[in-house]
Each structure stands twice: as C-alpha cells, then as structure tokens.
Chains A and B, each alone.
Chain A
Amino acid sequence: MSKRKGRLPCAGDYLPYILIAAVSGAIPAMTIKLRGGLIDLASGVEAGESGFFGLLALLIGMSFFGTVCRAGKERLSERHRIRALAKIDAERLEKAARTAFPVTETERFHALWRSSADAPELDDRIFRAAGDLTEIFVRLGLSLYVLWTMDPRIAGGIVLLLTAGILLNRELARNTEGFWPKYRENMRRTNYLSSLLMQREYAGERKLFSFDEEIDRRYAEAFSKAKMENAKLGRGRFRIEALMKLMFAAYSVMVVLMLMRPLLDGRITLGLFTSAFYAASGLERSCGQACAALYDIMGSRRRIGGYFEFMELEEDEANGAAGDEPLRSIELRDVTFTYPGAGGPVLEHLSFRLEPGHHYALVGENGCGKSTLVKLIAGLYKPDSGQVLVNGREVSSLSPEERQRMICVVFQDYYRYPLTIRENVSLGMDRAARDEEIEKIFESLDLHPVAVEGEAGYDAVPLPLYKSGVGLSGGEWQKLAVARCILSKAQIGILDEPNASLDPMAEAAVYAACREMLREKTTIFISHRLGSVRMADEILVLRGGRLAARGDHEELMAKDGYYSELFNTQKGMYI
C-alpha cells in the first residue's frame, strides 16, 4: 500500500475546529473539583452557606457553555464535510476526465476510481477524529492531573488502561483491517445471485427456464457461507472488545479501593471522593474513544492513498496549437498497434491515405481491427510504431479540443448521455443548436421521439432520470448520435456501425440521409453489413489487421477474392 503524502483540501478548517474541541474537552475536567466542593457543602462536611449557590451557578454556567461549544463543533465539522466532500469529488471527476484514454481502459483506473470514492468519507473521518482526539486528550490530561493530586496510582491506572486500550485497539485494527470490504466481498456473490431472481433483465429467462428454485438454493448456500465468514470476522472483534470491557470493570473496582485510602486518611473529602469516582468511571468511554479515534486517523490516512494514487494517473498531453485549417489529408504510415497484454498486434504495418471530400467505407469481420483503427484516427490511442497524421500532423499530439474540432465519431456503443436532446446534438458545435436545425435533421433521419412532445421540447432529458422523463429506444439514441455528427463542425465524420440498433429498413434510410447531409465532410463508414456501404466512393477491406484490398464495390467484386466471398455469403441472409 502506498503511503504517498498528499494534501487534503480545506486544511484551514482544522484550527477553529480543534480549538473549540479543546475547550469542550476542558470543561468536564474542570468540574471535578467543583462537584466535589458542592457535595461537601451540601452534605455538611464543610461548613459555609454563601458559597453553595455561587458554585452551583458556576457549574450550570460551565455546562451551558459546554452545550454551546458542542453545537458549534458539530456545525464546524458539518461545514467541513460539505465543503471538502464537494472539493474532493470535483477533483476526482476532473481528473478522470483528463486521464489519458488508454489508461481509462485499464482495470487499475476503475479500481482506483472506486477506491478513491471513499476519500471524501475518509477525509471527513480524519477531520472528526482530529477534533475528537483533541477533546478527549484535553479531558483526559486535565482529569488525570486532578486525580493525580489525590492518588497518583489512580492516574497511573488510567494511563495503564489507556496503553492497554491502544495496544488492544491496534490488535483490533489489525484484525479488522479491511473488515467491511471483506464483509462486502463475501456478500457480493449472494447479491448477484439474488439479482438473478429479482432484476428485470433476467425476468424472461427466469420464468422460461424456471431456474428460480435452483438459484434460490445456491443463494441460500452462498449466503450461509458468507454469514459464517462474516461471523468469524465478528468474533475477532467481539473478543477484543469484551476483553477491554472486562479490564475496565476491574479498574472501576480498583478505583474505589484506591480512592478509599486518601479518604480514610482525610486527605480528600467525601465529596471529592464521590466526584472523583464519577470522573474516573466517565473516563472509560474517553479511553475507548481516544483509541478508536487514533486508529481511525491512521487507518483513514492509509486508505486515502488510493485517492492520491488516482490523482497521479497519466493525463492526456495537450501541446498543439489550435487551428481551423481545411482538411488536406488523413494518412496512416506503417501503423502497428497492440493492446496491452494481448498476444499479438491488432493492426500491423497498416498504411493508407484518405483524401478530403470522399466517402470511405471500412469493412471486415469482427476482430479485424476496425474499431481500433477508429480510435487511432480519433487520437484516443497512440500507435506502437508508425504515425497517424491529419494534415501532416500527428493526431495524438493535438489537444483534445483540436481533435474534437477536426473529427467527430459516432461509436457503435453510443452512450446515453444524461443531457437534454438539444445538448446531445450540439456537443460538436460552438453554440446550442436551434429548433429548426434539429427539426430538419430529425426529419431526414425519420426520428420522431415521443420525448420531445412534452412541454420542454428539445430541452427534455430523454432518460427516466426524472419522473416525467420519457426514454428513447436504442435506434433513436443511435440516430441522435448521427444527428450530432451531422451538426458538428468537424470536417471528418467517422460512423462506426451506426446501424447496429436499426432494422434494415431504417438502416437504408439513415445511410441515404447521412450521404446527403454529410456531403461537405470527409466520411468513413464502418460496417460489417456489406450491402449498406457498397455506395461508398472507396471501400477499404481489413483482414487480420492488414489492408486486404481497396477500391469501389465493382472493382472489389470483379477481383473475386475475400470481399466478394463475404458479400455473397451475406447476400444469402437478406435475399
């Protein structure tokens, strides 16, 4: 586990909080003698009339002050929680957006993202624990001093108890390190099995295959196993906590015996004896809290490491200068690309050049490297060797903004953004699209979502996120992504299987509309439905990471090779 030091936000909140905590801690200790004096006066051990009500008022006043301090302390910690939480969450999210794309595809990125999600809570715990620790130590320290004056052994006993408590707590911390993660881990399997029996996505098969009985049995089995393991974790905790309680019971008895000596010697009054007895028993909770707070701080500091690690992930470099120059060429020069951990390269020594204003199609079987090629052209990946050039400049050296101005991609697994329809289609523009513009494009794509029929129109969010939200179907989302590309000011449009969610009839319509609307752009259509892209100016056939052939449909069919074989097999499916 990394112990990298990092700064937590809102560090300025600590000072006032710790001060107020110290004051709250001082009050109970200061009342020990006060209470003792009051008891003596009341029980007539000490004579004197006038002092009693004065002391009583002082006691009440101090207690009142303590109440006010507590309220203030609570407010300060709440304020810190709200502010620091927002700051940490925002930093994490901004960092995630800046992280280099290939890094986001690694398991490490997601693991760190998940583990850093605890950072705000940990920060809050550190903050609160710091206050609690201050309060408790002030209280313990002052109380110890008072008790010391009566019998040093009582104070010694508390020190002993505290030390033992810290040691036991360390043991407890070691025992319960990752207690809740382990607990959750044990339950994860049972949760999954349970979701098979409840969630809608499994409802059809659940009924049809009547697997509920067997899965419910497995659930019960997994659950009782998880329960046993969790109970084992719990037993460790129970033993240590029980031992601490027993030690305290013994100590409480010892306190009475120890306090009796100065009482019998007449060194302390009965009132002070009583007050000290209560104070000593009250310190048990403080001891427990002090130990817990100490370990909370240490444990939280350690666990927050994931956050600092996340914040240090590699970022996109942005060093290019912005420019809106017209497109002259897209060129791949001897590009080889291998996925980390993969056996061999997906793309090997791939070279080709695309001219502006043409419509290209990229075809091939699954796994031939089509989508990888898209990500390379979009600058999301860097090639292992070779270059991907737009207008002679390396794509990966452009800033994200420049790339967005240059290239617009419609991915096959389009994302359902929690944005309004207008925002969704305006992502590639400098401004928000106007109603007429959207209307025109929706019309040509034959897109008439129910979601825009409400009062909000194009400003409705087409997700069931809001009570009134009406969703879009898969095909409608895909068309929305196509509309975004059409509206975008980018000169290169890449459509990676924009038809996966469309039926063949709609697909034909979308292709026709795209050809029409994207006339001014250079386009690359990617598909494995060959009938759809045969109208392209030029078709690039990819096979096993290499360019197998290029040419228009007729040329490729005439060659009677790989392409014509694929085409004829597919034809059987449609005709």
Chain B
Amino acid sequence: MRDGQVSTGRALWYILRAAPRSFALMALAGLGNGGASILGIFATKEIFSLVGAGYGWELFGYLGLYAAALVLSAGYSVWYIRYHVQFFAIMDFEESTRRILHAKSGRMSNEVLETPDAYAFIRQADGARQNLFRFGQIYVEAVMTLLEAAMVAAYVRRFHGMFLLLLPLSFLPTLMEMLYGARLWNRGYETVTQCQREEAELEKAIVDEAACKESRASGADELLLRKWRSSRAKRDSVEDGKSKKMLYLKLSLSPAECAGDIGGFVVCILLLRRGRIDLPAFTAGVAAYASLTAILGGLGGTVGNEIQFRHLIKPFFRYLNMPERGGVGEKCTFESTITLENVSFTYPNQTEKALDGVDLTIKRGEITAIVGENGAGKSTLVNVLLGLYRPGEGRVLYDGVDILTVRETALHRLQSAVSQSFCRYKTSVGDNVSIGDFAKGDRREINRRVAEIFPEGDVGTDTLLGKEFGGRELSGGQWQRLSCARGFYKDGGFVVLDEPTSAIDPMREKAVYDEFKRELWGKTGIIVTHRLGTVKLADRIIVLQKGKIAEIGTREELLKADGIFADMWRTQSAAYHNEK
C-alpha cells in the first residue's frame, strides 16, 4: 500500500506546477545572474585595454559598468537566494504543500493509519515539504546554471576558440563534488538511521519525564546507557569509515581537482604566451573562468544533494498515493436504524480479524452497552459503527443506505462521541469544547460546561492549555471530562461513549455516569464499558469475544442465560461483595 513509487519526472512536474511563479522567478533570476557575469567579463576586458592609457572618462564608465555587474550578481545571492527564497518562496510553498496534505488526510479513511509506523510515516511525509521545493530548485537551478555557463562560454569564445576549454575545466571541481556526494551518501544510510532511531529511543528512556522515575528506581539507566554507547560506536564507525573513504577519494582525485582549480589560468597564460590573445582578452578569460567556477560551483552542491532530496521527498508522494475513502452522496439520515451486515474488519498488516462476521441492528432511541475483555474488538466495532473504519467485508447501513456511498462529513454530522483515547488540544479551554462543533458557536453553553468541570473558577473558557505554549496543565481526569463536554456539546443524535471515564478517579466515576444518563436523554447511545454496574443505563447489552458477538440481550436475560456476561458479573461482584 505504501509503495506507490513516483518517477522523478512526475514528482518534478508536480512540484513545478505547485508554485509556477516561484520557479519562473527562479529561472529569471538565474538568467539575470548569467547576464551579470557577462557584463562583468566585458567590463574587465575593456578596463584592461584602457588602464595603460591612464585615467579617462571612458575608463570611469567601464568601472561603473563593472561595479554594476558586481551589484547585480550580489542581488542574486543576497536578495534572491538568501532573502526571497528563504522567506517568501519556500514559505509560500510550505504553506500550500501542507494544505495539500491536510486535504489529503481529510479524504483518507482512518483505518489506513492504523499501523505501528504511522507516526513516523506522517512525520516524514510532512517533513518533506521544504525538501520538495529544494528538489524543484535543484532542477531549475541546474538547467539555469548550464544555460548561464553556456552564455558565458559563448561570449568568451569570441576571443579565442580555445577558451571553450575553460568550460569542461571549470566543471571539474563540481563534477568531483557530485561524484563524492553521490557515491558516499547512500553508504551505510540504513545502519546510520537505524542507530539514530535506536539512540533516540534510548535517550528518551533516560531523560523523558515519563521515564525518569522508573529508570532510576529500576536501574534501567545503566543498561540503557550501555546499549546507547554500543549503538553510537557502531554508527560512528560507519561515519568515520565514510569520512576516511572520502579522504582517499579526494586524494586520488586531487590531480583533477587541481586541474579544475588552476586549469583556466594555465590555458589563458599559455595562449597569452603563444601570442594568440592579448592581455585584455587574457583578463577576460581569467574573469570568465572565475565566473564559470562560481556558477558551476553552486551546481555541485545542489546536484550532489539530488539523491538525498529524492530520498526525502518520497514519503510525500507515498502519502498522496494512499487510498482514499470516496463517497459522493450528500444525504445521510438516521431516522430508524443502523445496521451492520456481516461485517468483518482486519487491521492493516495483521492477519487476525478484529471483527468477524458481525450482524447488528441499532434502533433509534435505544441505549446499547458493549462489554468484553481488552482486545475483544469493542473499540473497533464502535469505529466501524461510526464509519471511521471501513469494514473489510460486509456493509454498514444508515436507514438502509450504505455509508460508503455518502461523503464522510455528511455521515458524521449525525454523530458525536467520547473516546477513551481522547485528544488534549493545546488551545483555550473554550476551544476544547467548541471544537466539537465549530459551526454551533453557543458561547453560553460552552461557558456553562466549562464551569461544571472547573467549579473553583480558576480555569475559565479563555484559559490557555498546554505547557508547550505557555498554558496550564490539567490532570488526566480533567482532560477527559473536557472531552466529554466536547462530545455532548455537539448535537449528534447518535452518541458513542467508549470508556469515557477511563482516566477519571473511580471515586468520582459514579457522578459522571449519572450525568451521562441526563445527556443521553432522547438520543441513541452506545456505551463501551468495563464497569458492569453501569450497564444498568442500557436497554440492551452486547458481549463481544474475539471479534464476534457472543451474547446479546437485556441484563436480566444475560444473567439468566449464565454465560460470559454472568461470569464477568460474578467476578466483579465478588470483589465488592461484603464478605471475604
């Protein structure tokens, strides 16, 4: 699924189209830079043909031209490369590519992200955005550089045909650099990144806030350090080997490098000595050589990086190639029933079915409890019911309509949920509630809900949360209550509560459940819970086991049936029965 290779050509086309104006300006700037070089060479030649004659207006004119050429090429490096590209072109590009990614993630169904490496995968795709620009820049600059070099070469050819020799010579250092870069960049790449990742994990286990106390109490530090050192030594020996190889390569290629360094001067001076050119032409030749090495020298750095950037931008395209959910219908209703027809679900890269042939009908106005051991498939079932996961087999119907035929937004309009893996939004407290339904904008309700959670009044709607952004931190229980407020703030007719009190102090759980009873009034609800006492809220109980519905019925029916539910109930009540 993740392969979706993209050819360099298509990637490039995509990038250039994403910011046509930026790249057009880049080409223009390159041409200007080439023009500046020619102007400089021309001025140098004229100056040298005039110096012998002493000071004069003509000389001053050419000196002015020479200065203008310098200013022009300075404009290219200082204004264009270091200012415009860095602060405008790249930024604009970054913004638009990120929004492309945002839109893409809106079109994907959630289950495709349910892999262990999703976090790293998304990070890499996101991290590619500046590199995409750089990748495009490499190609545009390479073309422009060659064009500039050709311009300069064509110009100096007028003085003597042999001046064309300057072109290959000045290209030598660049060629060398490209050779080194391409040959050594890949070397040990896998080992190095693997070690780096391992070291980062080990470091985290020593320094992370969550790890410090345990690592100290258990003596894990010592072992972690030992492993860190050995990983580091392995990585460093690869790096050192690479650096040594580089030295040998550079030494063995040093004659060529040297030829590139001084070859232009040698060619010019030999021509001068033979009397083929005069001194002004000689100076023009030397100036041209300096320009050519400067122009082509930049190319070495960029083209040498091409292979690296090609690697770095891949995840972006892999992300864009991820399968999308689809669905076009705008109309989705829940007037009578939600039906699962023989639904099975398997997580990506796994073989075991998390849900296996589930048939289920939920009627409007009914409260259903789902119970079962950890890993029985409770949360998966809920995600499929909500349409967040697409079933591998079978269909999910809302009022008889297959939800995959309608747009996801149309479907979710009908629902709301509180999940055990609730989010902690590092924005204001009010935003943490209103994010449930931004369009609603009921300030009074938000204030009321916030005041219920923080009766002391030290936290209000505008209080900023999240230490990273200079805000307050809340306890796990407070965060979860905020997520409940968010879930109930949204007016969904179908509400799912997936272990909504997992982080709340068991001493206070009871009060929270009493609140749920009120909130669920008149709605259709699903409660996933481990506390069997709370199933009293429900009209019906579903017991899940290994992805299948094992039992279904009212509490009384299930206790009478003496099956799994009755067994669970006995275990729990034994703990709270009054005698030992």
Q: Please list the residues of chain A having a beta carbon within 8 angstroms of any beta carbon in chain B.
A: 35, 38-39, 41-43, 52, 56, 59-60, 63-64, 66-68, 70-72, 74-75, 78-79, 82-83, 86, 89-90, 93-94, 96-97, 101, 104-105, 107, 110, 113, 188-189, 192, 194, 196-216, 219-220, 223-224, 227, 230-231, 234-235, 237-238, 241-242, 245-246, 248-250, 252-253, 256-257, 260, 263-264, 270, 273-274, 278, 316, 365-367, 375, 378, 380, 400-401, 403-404, 407-409, 411, 413-415, 417-419, 423, 427-428, 463-466, 469, 471, 473, 475, 484, 501-506, 508, 528-532, 534-535, 553-554, 557, 566-567, 569-575
Asked whether B261 lies within 8 Å of A484 as measured between CB atoms, the reply is no
Does chain A have a CB within 8 A of B523? no
Q: Which residue of B lies closest to A569 (CB)?
A: B510
Asked whether B469 lies within 8 Å of A192 as measured between CB atoms, the reply is yes
The residues of A that contact B54 with a CB separation of less than 8 Å are: 260, 264
Q: Mark B484-516, 1 if CB is under 8 A from A, else 0.
A: 001000100000000000000111111001000
Contact pick for B533, options A67, A463, A572, CB 8 Å: A572
The residues of A that contact B569 with a CB separation of less than 8 Å are: 575
Does chain A have a CB within 8 A of B88? yes
The residues of B that contact A212 with a CB separation of less than 8 Å are: 102, 105-106
Does chain A have a CB within 8 A of B364? no
Asked whether A86 lies within 8 Å of B236 as measured between CB atoms, the reply is yes
- The list of the 3 closest CB pairs from A to B, nearest first, reads A531-B575, A464-B116, A245-B74
Within B222-250, which residues are at the interface with A (CB < 8 Å)?
A: 222-225, 227-229, 232-233, 236, 239-240, 243-244, 246-247, 250
Asked whether A93 lies within 8 Å of B206 as measured between CB atoms, the reply is yes
Asked whether B51 lies within 8 Å of A260 as measured between CB atoms, the reply is yes
Known contacts A227-B87, A234-B86, A252-B70, A404 near B571 by CB under 8 Å: no
Q: Which residue of B lies closest to A379 (CB)?
A: B217
Asked whether A471 lies within 8 Å of B116 as measured between CB atoms, the reply is yes
Known contacts A101-B216, A208-B417, A471-B116, A529 near B506 by CB under 8 Å: yes
Contact pick for B67, options A64, A220, A253, CB 8 Å: A253
Asked whether B95 lies within 8 Å of A220 as measured between CB atoms, the reply is yes
Asked whether B223 lies within 8 Å of A419 as measured between CB atoms, the reply is yes
The residues of B that contact A263 with a CB separation of less than 8 Å are: 51-52
Known contacts A274-B48, A473-B374, A531-B576, A230 near B217 by CB under 8 Å: no
Asked whether A484 lies within 8 Å of B102 as measured between CB atoms, the reply is no
Known contacts A39-B272, A207-B388, A212-B106, A419 near B212 by CB under 8 Å: no
Contact pick for A209, options B55, B118, B206, B436, CB 8 Å: B436
Asked whether A60 lies within 8 Å of B272 as measured between CB atoms, the reply is no
Total chain B interface residues with beta-carbon distance under 8 A: 147
Minimum distance in angstroms from B301 CB to a CB of chain A: 15
Asked whether B78 lies within 8 Å of A245 as measured between CB atoms, the reply is yes
The residues of B that contact A501 with a CB separation of less than 8 Å are: 374
Interface centre among B122, B273, B490 (most CB of A within 10 A): B273
Contact pick for A245, options B71, B210, B534, CB 8 Å: B71
Minimum distance in angstroms from A433 CB to a CB of chain B: 13
Asked whether A238 lies within 8 Å of B575 as measured between CB atoms, the reply is no
Asked whether A197 lies within 8 Å of B243 as measured between CB atoms, the reply is no
| Stretch of B21-29, B141-149, B418-426 at the chain-chain interface | B418-426
Complex: how many Å from CA A499 to CA B302? 55
Known contacts A214-B438, A238-B83, A366-B477, A43 near B210 by CB under 8 Å: no
Asked whether B247 lies within 8 Å of A72 as measured between CB atoms, the reply is yes
Does chain A have a CB within 8 A of B279? yes
Complex: how many Å from CA A68 to CA B255? 9
Q: Mark B204-227, 1 if CB is under 8 A from A, else 0.
A: 011111111111111111111101
Q: Which residue of B lies closest to A575 (CB)?
A: B573
Minimum distance in angstroms from A343 CB to a CB of chain B: 11
Does chain A have a CB within 8 A of B311? no
Does chain A have a CB within 8 A of B91? yes
Asked whether A573 lies within 8 Å of B534 as measured between CB atoms, the reply is yes
The residues of B that contact A231 with a CB separation of less than 8 Å are: 87-88, 91
Contact pick for A380, options B213, B269, B270, CB 8 Å: B213
Asked whether B576 lies within 8 Å of A574 as measured between CB atoms, the reply is yes
Asked whether B505 lies within 8 Å of A366 as measured between CB atoms, the reply is yes
The residues of A that contact B486 with a CB separation of less than 8 Å are: 205, 209
Q: Which residue of B lies closest to A197 (CB)?
A: B102
Contact pick for A411, options B106, B198, B213, CB 8 Å: B213
The residues of B that contact A94 with a CB separation of less than 8 Å are: 225
The residues of B that contact A401 with a CB separation of less than 8 Å are: 219
The residues of A that contact B423 with a CB separation of less than 8 Å are: 201-202, 205
Contact pick for A194, options B64, B83, B98, B375, CB 8 Å: B98
The residues of B that contact A466 with a CB separation of less than 8 Å are: 194
Does chain A have a CB within 8 A of B31? no
Does chain A have a CB within 8 A of B413? yes
Known contacts A237-B82, A238-B79, A415-B215, A366 near B105 by CB under 8 Å: no
Does chain A have a CB within 8 A of B113? yes
Minimum distance in angstroms from B269 CB to a CB of chain A: 5
Asked whether B99 lies within 8 Å of A216 as measured between CB atoms, the reply is yes
Asked whether A249 lies within 8 Å of B412 as measured between CB atoms, the reply is no
Minimum distance in angstroms from B272 CB to a CB of chain A: 4
Complex: how many Å from CA A411 to CA B415? 37
Asked whether A203 lies within 8 Å of B509 as measured between CB atoms, the reply is no
Known contacts A534-B575, A571-B533, A207 near B213 by CB under 8 Å: no
Known contacts A274-B279, A427-B219, A465-B201, A574 near B531 by CB under 8 Å: yes
Q: Which residue of A lies closest to B531 (CB)?
A: A573
Q: List 17 A-B contacts (CB under 8 A).
A: A39-B282, A71-B254, A82-B243, A93-B225, A101-B213, A113-B207, A203-B110, A204-B417, A211-B438, A252-B66, A260-B55, A264-B54, A375-B213, A427-B219, A464-B117, A465-B198, A575-B532
Besides the known contacts A75-B244, A528-B506, 17 further A-B residue pairs in the complex with CB atoms under 8 A apart: A39-B282, A101-B216, A104-B207, A197-B102, A200-B119, A220-B95, A242-B74, A273-B51, A415-B215, A428-B218, A475-B374, A484-B218, A503-B373, A508-B575, A531-B572, A534-B575, A574-B572
Q: Which residue of B lies closest to A424 (CB)?
A: B220
Complex: how many Å from CA A198 to CA B196? 24
Known contacts A196-B425, A210-B412, A407-B217, A418 near B201 by CB under 8 Å: yes
Does chain A have a CB within 8 A of B258? yes
Within B349-367, which residues are at the interface with A (CB < 8 Å)?
A: none
Does chain A have a CB within 8 A of B568? yes
The residues of A that contact B63 with a CB separation of less than 8 Å are: 253, 256-257
